[in-house]
Amino acid sequence: MKSNLFNLACFLLILALGGCGEEIRESRTLGKSQVKASEMVLGLEMTPAEREMMMEDLADQRDAYVSMRQEIPGNSIRPALRFDPRLAWATRGVSTRYKRSPAVELADWGDPGPVSRPSSLESLAFANIGELGKLIRQRQVTCLELTDLALARLEEFGPELECVVTLLPERARQRARELDRMLDRGEYLGPLHGIPYGAKDLLAVKGAPTTWGAAPYRDQVLDETATVVRKLDQAGAVLVAKLTLGALAWGDVWFGGKTRNPWNLDEGSSGSSAGSASSVAAGLVPFAIGTETLGSIVSPCTRCGVTGLRPTFGRVSRAGAMALSWTMDKIGPIARSAADCAMVFDTIRGVDPRDPTTIEAPFSYRHDQDLTWVRIGYLKSAFDKDYPGQELDHEAMRELRFQGVDLVPIEFPLEAMGINPSDLSIILTAEAGAAFQDLTLSGRDDEMVRQIRFAWPNVFRTAQFIPAVEYIQANRHRTRLMEMMNRIFREVDVYITPSFAGESLMITNLTGHPQVVVPDGFTDGDSPHSISFVGRLYDEATLLTVARAFQEITGWHKKTPPGY
């Protein structure tokens, strides 16, 4: 038995990692027993004759792998393949038009109401973007004052929350002064003019460290600025800090510690957009930029009681961002309300030649649009499950029904389709393993803080053994999920789902659909809880309209953690 396991290990390492010691690496010969043993891992069964015929080809493939690894492309080089969430429309001849509200195509933010300068600027820590923007526009508060407020709070509470990687005081204050001078000249850049924010530290900022939250990259400085940051710069937002993320975008543990939940400092903020959610929840910045591949906006927003938008895949450029999964990574805003997320999203969306997955689509958000024209579904079987916070979600739906919303039950016909969405997670595993293969082969993955089964070092190593055929098959099943979602959105415009119970989070991250996560109460021990809304591809306007209406009904997003 031990001999078989050794043969299996050596053969898989030969194929996936280029050898099992120098003696085997230099040999062109593969043993038939190694091939046979490997079939057990891959779920295959070949005849002796078939194994005999494969031997030379397997050796050739092994040599090709080794050769290609002599020059592994950098993280910024994408594959010559492109995921397009509109594929389901094309494969079934479905119209690529998507339902939009009867609103005008330009976003309308509305008036936040009367505002006045408070006696202490500290009381603005939890003001929304609309209120802050009006104070700036009316010259009651300067851009520099807001920037200094954010920097001071980041310096005071950042160490406690372990949510800051790098403060950017010089860059921030210089930009704030420029923006104040622009206002002196009558130049106003829009609703984000002078609004401080933080960026998840997988977004490059020229001249500043971009650590990806991981020890092997803690001294990395990239000679570029991410498109999202450039767009926010151009809109007048002021970047004050690079915020923490779980190492290489998993969890809340980074090379400097564990990012904390402001509601309960004994627990982490979840992740991987850990610092973005934590800092917004604590009132250190009005908004922050996060990213999601499989829950990295939804999870920390849930834990920290804030609002997050995961846009449609391709709506926001990822140029200048760390690549984890080229077909699943998405960038979105984290803020205190859906309305604030809408303002930020309107700035960062759009086509970017540096990211060929991006497309142009309208964003016709209106602050005063009601829900009478929106068909809203709910994922019945998911809400019927027994899970923490279930009663809060049920109460949220009762609130909507009380307001006259007719909730239509929907289901994913997964059993009839014969698909287990979790099986398709090998898509993410394979792409992440490719994105960081150099880390695995060099052995520098040992520098990562988390060295457990469910952490990147182990997953990256496991990824080297995923057959290309199975990766492609998983993507074919992904197409079937996309077609399923297309059918569902013929019946509804938005559906409600538990943020975690059920299969929606996995499915929608695979299909590229947008999701808004909003707080809907507190579980035992005053821990925030959330509910989520999922919308049509590229129809963030309707999705955010529904989320905003829910927040106006409930007010949970206005709660703030004590002590901040």
What 3 state SS string does 295-312 have?
CCCHHHHHHHCCEEEECC
Average pLDDT, the chain: 91
Contact 512, 314 (CB under 8 A): yes
Which fold, 125-359+369-415+473-558?
Amidase signature (AS) enzymes (3.90.1300)
Stretch 485-512: mean pLDDT: 97
Amino acid at site 377: G
Q: Which amino acid is at 435?
A: A
Q: Tell me the catalytic residues.
A: 200, 272, 296
Q: 560: left (phi > 0), else alpha (psi -120 to 50), else beta? A: beta
Alpha-carbon distance values, 180 to 207, 279, 379 (Å): 24, 25, 48
Give the model confidence (pLDDT) of 397-412 as tens digits.
Answer: 999 999 999 999 999 9
Angle between helices 274-281 and 143-161 (to 10 degrees): 120
Checking if the pLDDT of 46 tops 90, the result is no
pLDDT (average), residues 62-75: 88
Residue 145 is encoded by which pair of tokens? 């004052």
- The pLDDT, as a whole number, for residue 90 is 58
Q: What per-residue confidence (pLDDT) applies to 80?
A: 87
What confidence score (pLDDT) does residue 164 get?
98
Residue 312: partners with Cβ closer than 8 Å, 6 or more residues away? 85, 330, 361, 512, 513, 514, 537, 538, 540
pLDDT at 17 over 50: no
Q: What is the pLDDT of residue 28?
A: 56
Single-letter amino acid code for the residue at 174? Q
Asked if residue 540 lies in contact with residue 502, where contact means CB atoms within 8 angstroms, the answer is no
The conformation of residue 44, written as its DSSP 8-state character, comes to -
More confident residue, 105 or 175: 175
Q: What is the pLDDT of residue 25?
A: 43
* Distance (Å, whole) CA 360 – CA 169: 34
Helix segments in 162-273, DSSP class H = 169-184, 227-234
Q: Per-residue confidence at 41, pLDDT binned at 50, 70, 90?
A: confident
The DSSP secondary structure of 494-545, one letter per residue, reads EEEEESSSSSHHHHHHHHT--EEEEEEEEETTTEEEEEEEEE-TT-HHHHHH
Residue-wise pLDDT tens digits, 98-133: 444 444 467 889 999 999 999 999 999 999 999 999
Confidence of residue 29 (pLDDT cuts 50, 70, 90): low
- Asked whether the CA dihedral 284, 285, 288, 294 is positive or negative, the reply is positive
What's at 362, amino acid-wise? P
CB 298 within 8 A of CB 265: no
Domain assignments of the chain as residue spans, ordered by start: 1-71, 125-359+369-415+473-558
Q: What is the pLDDT of residues 446-455, one digit of tens each?
A: 999 999 999 9
Residue 480 has pLDDT above 80, yes or no: yes
Provide mean pLDDT across the span 525-554. 96
Per-residue pLDDT at 4: 42
